[in-house]
Amino acid sequence: MTATLLGIGFGFAARCLMLRSDYRQYPAYPHGYVTHLSLGLIAALLGALAVPALLEREFTAVTFLSLAATQFRDIREIERETLSKLDISNLVARGPDYIEGIARVFEARNYLVMLIALLVSGLTYLTNVLAGIIMGAFALLGALRLMRGPVIGQIATVRPGRISFKGPNLFVEDIHFMNLAREEVRRTVLARGLGVVIEPFDDNAREILANNGQRMAIAHDAATQLGIYRDVDTAEFTPILRRDLDTGRIALLILPLEKDMDCLVSAVKNVPVLESSTSRPLKSRAGRGAAD
Amino acid sequence: MKTQISKYILAVVTLDPALVGSGGAPVFVARDRAEQDRIATYLARITEGVVHDLENGVYILVKH
């Protein structure tokens, strides 16, 4: 009984810790918390019961774990659906790749909770409470570490880039962005716009940055953190990212409400590298050969 | 999956009607640069499109 309770306690604590709401503001409403906390509690309960049930020769109880896995897969489905629907109302869309990443994380966190509860309750059952608590503490630390994935700042240099016009054509450094006809729009872009150039460190990073979903995530994160100077009827002020075909560099053009270059650079550096955009051409013989 | 055309020309605003042939998008003829700018701005706000300059006196409005 102590083992199970300890397992549930640590599992639930892990879910609470992982539910920290940050600038992504999701979930930021009470009902979102309720949904995820109660599912986390169920996950913890299932995980905590597994080892004691197994040792008490209650084999059928363990099959419930597989039932739980099906349930948690549905969470990803739900998250994806909700976020995709809400994305239409965003001034700067998250993009499908970012949404998929978030949904996947929500699913994985429940498995993590289940695993922590299983480890803690199992160890407590087999040894003693103290060992269980130590195990739980380490598991919580491990879970917090897992929350941090790589960010753009680790795969590329991010530096300010100069915005200029050649006739109606807009450039950030030498990367062409678009053709803007109206004089007033050009003046606004020059006055309010900020340009950032992202230079990949290697070929792996180049492929990550080439991914359109990754670029949408950068635009979305930059816009949420600095505010965006646009409304639904000013499509020309949408932040965009364009690629230099020769070198694989990426440039971002954004019209933030708060024109602060240092904050923009740090916001871009902290954009997570999306799981779905990750590719490693340098791991292949052809990729390595082509790199030099 | 819903399939749709995502980029298309909504309208053409020109100073010289001879430069634009008939096509899918409506053509607005402006008397001078100021009027061309004004028409393009109104149309851009109403249609949520972006005005592009073809650099021959023709503006196109594109839905992105």
Q: Give me the pLDDT at residue B23, please.
A: 79
Which of B40, B50, B59 is closest, CB to CB, to A235? B50
Instruction: Tell me if A235 and B64 make a contact (CB, 8 A cut-off).
Output: yes
Q: How far is B49 from chain A (nearest CA, A)?
A: 6
pLDDT above 80: residue B63: yes
Tokens 């979305």, residue located: A220
Q: pLDDT tens digits for A195-241?
A: 999 999 998 999 999 999 999 999 999 999 999 998 888 888 999 99
Q: Residue B4's pLDDT band (boundaries 50, 70, 90)?
A: low
- % of chain A with per-residue pLDDT over 70: 97
Q: Which residues of A touch B64 (CB under 8 A)?
A: 235, 238
* Contact at CB, B53 and A180, closer than 8 angstroms: yes
* Nearest chain B residue to A233, by CA: B48
A178·B50 Cβ contact <8 A: yes
Would the pLDDT of B2 be above 70? no
Token duo for residue A193: 């716009």
Is A236's CB within 8 Å of B50's CB?
A: yes
User: Is the minimum CB–CB distance between A232 and chain B shorter than 8 Å?
Assistant: yes
Q: How confident is the model at residue A28 (pLDDT cuts 50, 70, 90)?
A: low
Chain A residues in contact with B49 (beta carbon < 8 A): 235
Cβ atoms of A252 and A268 closer than 8 Å: yes
| CB interface of B with A, residues 34-53, below 8 Å | 37, 40-41, 44-46, 48-53
* Per-residue model confidence (pLDDT) at position A209: 93
Percent with pLDDT over 90 in chain A: 36
Task: Encode pLDDT of B33-46 as tens digits.
Answer: 999 999 999 999 99
Question: How close is the nearest chain A Cα to the Cα of B55, in Å?
Answer: 8
The ipTM is: 0.81
